[in-house]
Amino acid sequence: FTSDVKIKSISVVGGADGTSPSKMRAILARVVEWGLAENSQGVLEYQTRYSKFQSVGNITLHFPENFGGDASQIHYIGFKGEATQLKRDVVATIVYEITPNPSDHK
């Protein structure tokens, strides 16, 4: 993420015919695991333990199992939450010209 975030929920849209993942692990300082339901329409969200997802700078997701397909398919992963602190760079040099100087623009 470009800044630390508080993650409230995660949504995973998988494939059809058993290719949707059936288990998800989020790896932060600890591993948190969810059992997933087949969600090809994107209507399900998996709530996080808010205290463990307060100041997340990066997250690794692992999908070890699916519902019996040859391979797992993931079409979409969504996070709901909020940024905790925005990191903005300060512009150091700003030049305003009322009338342009032709020698500066060759």
**pLDDT digit string (tens) for 23-41?**
999 999 889 999 999 988 8
* 7 burial level (CB within 10 Å; 0-12, 13-18, 19+): buried
Structural domain includes residue 99: no
| Contact call for residues 24 and 46 (beta carbons, < 8 A) | yes
Structural domain includes residue 13: yes
Single pTM value for the model:
0.75
Question: How many alpha carbons fall within 13 Å on the CB side of residue 13?
Answer: 9
Top-confidence residue, 46 or 95: 46
Structural domain includes residue 43: yes
Structural domain includes residue 98: no
Structural domain includes residue 103: no
- Does 92 score more than 90 pLDDT? no
pLDDT at position 85 is 73
The residue among 12, 3, 2, 11 whose CA lies nearest residue 85 is 3
Number of domains in the chain: 1
